[in-house]
Amino acid sequence: METPFKIIDHTADIGIAVNGATLQQLFENAAIGLFNLIIDSSTLEDYTEYPISISSTNRESLLIDWLNELIYVYEVEHIVFKRFTITIFSDTHLESLCFGDFLDNKRHLIKREVKAATYHMLSITNDSDGFHATIIFDI
């Protein structure tokens, strides 16, 4: 199995290259990658459960909308997520349970502010190893 994600450089911003055995797993790993950019995930608990459902026009947009929804929930509800289970999945719709921790500056080490997931350089491909995506975040 390839690594779930790795951080990639971009002159002004930062990105992740994500892998998954299935498309569903790719989406879960992208979310893990996102929160690794935001916070030191080793400091997180996962006792808070938060359901998220997203509908979009195609799978690329679904991926961007999914990540932007997570950024929104983090910023507004102050929940930092560690683990994701996507329960229902199609190219245009997903339902998930996200597990995380309420942000606590005493316990958590925040790394950076992520403004949004962008469409820049976005691609979802698949081959015999599974699914792959590159996502650039605006920070």
Partner 1 sequence: MTKWDGKLHKIDTYRWEISPDYKPGMRVPGIVYASDAMMENIKEDQSLEQVANVAFLPGIMKYSLAMPDIHWGYGFPIGGVAATRVSDGVVSPGGVGYDINCGVRLLRTNLTEDEVRPRIKELINHIFHNVPSGLGSEGKIIVSEKDLNHLMVEGAQWAIKKGYGYAEDLDATEETGCLQGADPNAVSAKAIKRGMPQAGTLGSGNHFLEIQIVKEIYDQAAAQIMGIGFPGQVLVLIHTGSRGFGHQVCSDYLRVMEIATTKYGIHLPDKQLACTPIQSDEGKKYLAAMACAANYAWANRQCIAHWIRESFVMIFKKSAENLGMVQVYDVAHNIAKLETHHVDGKAVAVCVHRKGATRAFPAFHEAVSGMYKSIGQPVLIPGDMGRVSYVALGTEKALAETFGSTCHGAGRLQSRGAAKRSRRGSDIAHNLEARGITIKTGDVAALAEEASEAYKDISEVIEVADRSGISKKIIMAAPIGVIKG
Binding residues vs partner 1 (CB under 8 A): 7-14, 56-57, 60-61, 65, 68, 72, 75-76, 78, 103, 110-113, 115-116, 118-122, 136, 138-139
Determine which helix (DSSP H) or strand (DSSP E) holds 73, and give its type and residue range.
helix 59-77
Q: Which is nearer to partner 1, 48 or 118 (CB)?
A: 118
Give the count of beta carbons closer than 10 Å to the beta carbon of residue 73: 17
Of 139, 104, 101, 136, nearest to 119 by C-alpha is 136
* Beta carbon of residue 108, minimum distance to partner 1 (angstroms, whole number): 10
Q: Are 96 and 49 in contact (CB under 8 A)?
A: no
Nearer to partner 1, 68 or 96 (CB): 68
Q: Which is nearer to partner 1, 5 or 25 (CB)?
A: 5
Percent of the chain that is helix, strand, coil (3-state, to 5): 25, 40, 30
Output the smallest distance, CB 138 to partner 1, in A. 5
Closest CB 75 distance from partner 1, rounded Å: 5
